Amino acid sequence: MKKIVVGVILAVFSIGILAILRNGAVIARLDAIASNPNPIIRHFAPTWRSIKKIIDLPYLAASTFMAGNPLPVYEIEFSKNDLSRLINNLPDYPKENRLYESFKNTVKATFRHGSYGTADAKVRYRGVSPNHWNALKKSFQVNLPAEQPLGDRATLRFFIGEDKGWIKGFLSNHLANKFDLMSPKMEAVHLVVNKKPMGVFMLVEGWEESFLERNGKQLSPLFANKNIFISKPDLFRPEAANQWYNRFEEERPGETFPELIYFLSLIANAPDKVFTKEIDAILDRDAFLRWSFLTTIFGDFSQLSNGANINFFFNNATGTFEPVLFDATLAKLSDPIDISQNRLMSRILKQKKFMARFEQIARSYLSNPDHLANDLAFYDSMTDSLLPSIYRDNTKIQTSFEARAQIASDRNIYQHNFLTLASMLETGGIRFHFAEESYPLGDPLADDEFSSFRAVSSSRNEFLKNNPLFVAGMEPSVVILPSGSYRLTSDIIIPRNLTVIIREGVKLFLGPSVSLISFSPVTAAGTPAQPILFTRLNTKSPWGVFAVVNTTQKSVFSHVALRGGKDATNNGVYFSGMLSAHNADIEFRHGTIENASADDGIHILFGEAVIADTLFDDNSADSVDIDFARGESLFERNLFTATGGDAIDLSFSKIVLRDNTVKTCGDKGISVGEASHPLIEKNSIKNCIYGIAVKDRSEATMINNILEENETAIGLYRKKPHFITGGEAILSKNEFIGNQQNISSDEYSRYREE
């Protein structure tokens, strides 16, 4: 009888709690107990949260009949003293309601997942807003030892599910993949802290090199706003550069990055005409417009507000900024759509040609109802998979009723926004309310301010006026460097949208650290009788680089000799090769690369490269370095002599290396690293430390090569732990002559002979 009475009481109580929970005003007032300035009232916040959980009983019972997917389990364990240190270091809430950098102390902890374990993890609370850390369940960041990552990660960020909206973060990833945008991956996991199950967390990929590699990017600055107190933040002004930092170089002040200063100056202080002309040279406009569309369909413009929550990758291959899609929330769209707090997005979409491209992107997606059906099906699948675990999570801040309601609400908002934008396009176009600002906001850009950046967008006439050694070609976009000898004592930047011809017999004598950088394709067609020469003006001081950047047409070089160059940094981009091609296809035949005194003789970064019948001699480090080769890249019949480092160094590249000869190198004849997949055949490599090295998730096929008098002919190993595996090789008909060791392989690597 007592059990029946208790059951009836609980049922009535649950119905009463449910009635309260359905009254948004009441629950909002009760939830506000947690932030009441009166400590006595605030003391009852945990009690209220516990009372709320009574309504979870039916959901918990329902979860026993729901399948769902089992979640991976991660464990954190630290001492009681360290736990107290973490808690005592939290802000004095509600007086202080932001977890700024000064509060982010770490403690040593043991961390486990599956067969992985370390006692040297560094753990701290994370998340700026109070919901991350003012309840029992808190968000964590775990930093693992660099030499002992978990898979390819050394940083693991565990967010409470409520902060990520349970499902909407997965939808954000889903859309980012569709639109080829960078976005940290998210997965749902269970977290156990000091042996106590803490329920469902969202494990979000950290800002580390593996994140860039997964997105097909090389290590370059990733700019974000600092987590510091600013009373009235306005990040899109040059004077706010000190509020930015590079996530991969945190100690370097933001104001020391010229590319960032120019970017912010252009946004805030360029008149409309200048902004429209130059923004394409510093911003990947198409990526930004794709990002803008996803931001719009989510209805969330906080990611690019003038005040916070910004992530921009500066691509060292292209010299342009690319937005990162992260932490988007869903909010219902209004008509017109208010983007007045987003200066960059507002300025971009005010321009007719940019807006036309934005609507083209939007129309191609919104006009097909299958896209909405696919997105909602994905959302529903993730919901069905995760709901049982959410229901069983008795540490979550929300009740199961509230979590389920939020998931349903977010789904409805996304569907509403999709249909709203589609309707706008059918009735005249997407309507925005732009920032009501008049530019420039500060001192206008002077003509000579950021001259090297602004030169990229110069017209042909402007370029020829400033560089009289070039002449106009017959076609309106052609500039020509006629045959003859020239002395260069300052950098030359050739702007976009031209075609550059360097005539046979040109001799360029470049002063110390002087570079020639072309943002247009180059044809340099020397002949055996009249080769083209780049060399030192001062025989004791190296010049800089000859670089080709961001071209859609191939640059072609024949019978060109480059001697005595080094490296250079221009417009925030580091060029490591005496001849550098960034995001540019290049063909280089019958040439000479000699006496380069920096990292590389030739450096190819994101391009198709054909290099043949060329002499590489007396280069201080690597003769050829190719990263992210694309297309039908080929190295053949080249001769390498007296190389200080690697003759050929590959990363993230698929390429054919054929009939090359390497005679003496300070390191590797061919270095195959970082997920490269070359075919290496009929090469002769002599007197190197490694003839061929294959490492870090690379796979090489080696056929009919001669490896002679090397310390190790073929070495397979793992160098960087986050690649997980080492090198793999398929060997066929290779000849080993007088090497100290023919083949070496570590525990992470393997090979087979055919």
Residue 200 CA neighbour count, 13 Å, CB half: 28
d(CA 45, CA 35): 9
657 vs 670: CA distance, rounded Å: 9
Distance (Å, rounded) from C-alpha 545 to C-alpha 536? Answer: 11
SS3 label, residue 395: coil
Closest CA to 583 of 612, 623, 552: 552
- Sign of torsion over alpha carbons 305, 310, 313, 319: positive
CB 734 within 8 A of CB 710: no
At 341 the pLDDT is 87
Query: Looking at the DSSP assignment, which residues form a beta bridge with residue 244?
Result: 225
Q: What is the DSSP letter of 747?
A: T
Q: Give domain limits for the chain.
A: 2-63, 73-433, 468-632
Render the burial of 446-458: b for 16+ CB within 10 Å, e for the rest.
Answer: eeeebeebbbbbb
CA-to-CA distance for 450 and 46, rounded, in angstroms?
56
Q: What is the pLDDT of residue 10?
A: 47
Is the previous residue joined to 94 through a cis bond, with omega within 30 degrees of 0? yes
Alpha-carbon distances, residue 134 vs 93, 94, 142, 200 (angstroms): 8, 9, 19, 17
Structure tokens given for 588: 């280089």
Work out whether strand 684-686 and strand 661-665 pair parallel, antiparallel, or are unpaired.
Answer: parallel
What's the full length of the chain, in residues? 754
pLDDT beneath 50: ranges in the chain: 3, 5-13, 21, 24-36, 38, 40-45
| Structure confidence at residue 303 (pLDDT) | 55
What backbone phi and psi angles, to 5 degrees, belong to 726?
-100, -125
Name the residue among 29, 138, 57 with its Cα closest to residue 400.
57
**DSSP 8-state assignment for residue 367:** T
Q: Tell me the torsion sign for CA atoms 663, 643, 679, 614.
A: negative
| pLDDT recorded at residue 2 | 52
Angle at 449 between CA 444 and CA 450, to 5 degrees: 120
pTM of the entire predicted model: 0.89
For β-strands 73-77 and 107-113, DSSP reports them as antiparallel
pLDDT tens digits, 676-710: 999 999 999 999 999 999 999 999 999 999 999 99
pLDDT of residue 41: 45
Cis peptide before 72 (omega within 30 of 0): no
CA distance 602 to 580: 6
Q: What pLDDT does residue 67 have?
A: 67
